[in-house]
C-alpha cells in the first residue's frame, strides 16, 4: 500500500530547477514551455524532464534534450516542435542536441507536471528509488487518479506507451495508466 506522506522533492528535480532559475534566458525558456509531449499533451517537455538545458553559446541557442526511453518514438516530433516554436518566436540560430547521459529519470518530473498528469487521468510515478524494490512497478496500491482509492491492481507492466503501466481501480472499476517510476 502506498501511504500518504509529505512529498519530498527529488534532488534531481531541484538541480534542474536551479539550473533554469540561474539562467539568464527566461523568455526563451518560456517559449520552450509551449512545447508539449506529443503523447501526453498536457505536459510540457520541461515538466517531463525531456528538456535538459538551454544555453546561449557563440550567439546560438543550444537546446539539449534527452529521450525518456531508448526507443521513444516521440523524439522526432519533439525536435520538430522545438524548431517550430523557436522559429515562430524568431529565435535563431539554434541547435537542438540530444544528450544521453545522465539517463532520464522520472525524478526529473516537475511538481507541476505530476499534478497535471494526475488531472489528466494518469497516476504520477510513486516515490523515489526506495519506495519499491529497485523502483519497479508494484503489483497493487497505486492511487487511482479518478477516485483516489489505493485499492488498485496492476493489469499490465507495459501500457499504451513504454513509460506507462496499466492499472485498474477495484473501487471505481476504471482502468488507468500509471506513469512508471524509472
Partner 1 sequence: MSDFNLKAATQEYATRLGDDAVVLGHRLSEWTSNGPFLEEDIALSNVALDYIGRARMYYTYAAELAGNGKTEDDFAYTRDMREYRNLLIHELPRGDFAYTMVRQLLVDVFNTYYLPELAKSADSTLAGIAQKAIKETRYHLRRSHEWTLRLGDGTEASHQRMQRALESLWGYTHELFDADPLELQLADAGIGVHNAALRPTWLAQVSAILTEATLTVPKDDWAVRGGRVGYHTENLGHLLNDMQFLHRAYPGCQW
Residue closer to partner 1, measured from CB, 9 or 155: 155
**What is the closest distance, in whole angstroms, from the C-beta atom of residue 129 to partner 1 in the complex?**
11
Cα-to-chain-centroid distance, residue 75: 13
Residue closer to partner 1, measured from CB, 80 or 119: 80
**What is the closest distance, in whole angstroms, from the C-beta atom of residue 125 to partner 1 in the complex?**
13
**What is the closest distance, in whole angstroms, from the C-beta atom of residue 59 to partner 1 in the complex?**
25
Compute the distance between CA of residue 163 and CA of residue 160 in angstroms, rounded to an integer.
8
Residue closer to partner 1, measured from CB, 119 or 140: 140
63 conformational bin, left if phi > 0, alpha if psi -120 to 50, beta if neither: beta
Under the rule (CB under 8 A), what is the footprint of partner 1?
67, 69-73, 100-104, 134, 136-137, 155-162, 166, 180, 182
Compute the distance between CA of residue 139 and CA of residue 170 in angstroms, rounded to an integer.
13
**What is the closest distance, in whole angstroms, from the C-beta atom of residue 66 to partner 1 in the complex?**
9
Contact 174, 168 (CB under 8 A): yes
The residue written with cell numbers 516554436 in the block is 85
Residue closer to partner 1, measured from CB, 107 or 143: 107
Contact 42, 116 (CB under 8 A): yes
Amino acid at each position: 500500500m502506498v501511504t500518504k506522506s509529505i512529498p519530498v522533492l527529488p534532488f534531481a528535480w531541484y538541480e534542474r530547477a536551479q539550473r533554469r532559475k540561474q539562467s539568464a534566458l527566461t523568455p526563451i525558456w518560456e517559449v520552450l514551455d509551449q512545447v508539449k509531449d506529443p503523447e501526453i499533451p498536457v505536459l510540457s517537455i520541461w515538466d517531463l524532464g525531456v528538456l535538459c538545458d538551454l544555453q546561449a553559446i557563440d550567439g546560438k541557442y543550444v537546446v539539449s534534450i534527452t529521450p525518456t526511453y531508448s526507443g521513444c518514438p516521440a523524439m522526432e516530433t519533439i525536435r520538430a516542435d522545438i524548431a517550430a516554436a523557436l522559429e515562430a518566436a524568431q529565435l535563431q540560430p539554434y541547435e537542438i542536441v540530444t544528450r544521453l547521459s545522465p539517463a532520464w529519470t522520472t525524478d526529473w518530473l516537475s511538481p507541476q507536471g505530476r499534478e497535471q498528469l494526475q488531472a489528466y487521468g494518469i497516476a504520477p510515478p510513486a516515490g523515489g528509488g526506495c519506495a519499491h524494490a529497485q523502483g519497479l512497478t508494484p503489483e497493487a496500491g497505486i492511487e487511482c487518479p479518478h477516485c483516489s482509492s489505493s485499492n488498485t491492481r496492476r493489469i499490465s507492466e507495459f501500457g499504451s506507451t513504454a513509460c506507462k503501466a496499466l492499472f485498474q481501480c477495484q473501487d471505481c472499476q476504471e482502468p488507468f495508466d500509471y506513469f512508471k517510476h524509472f
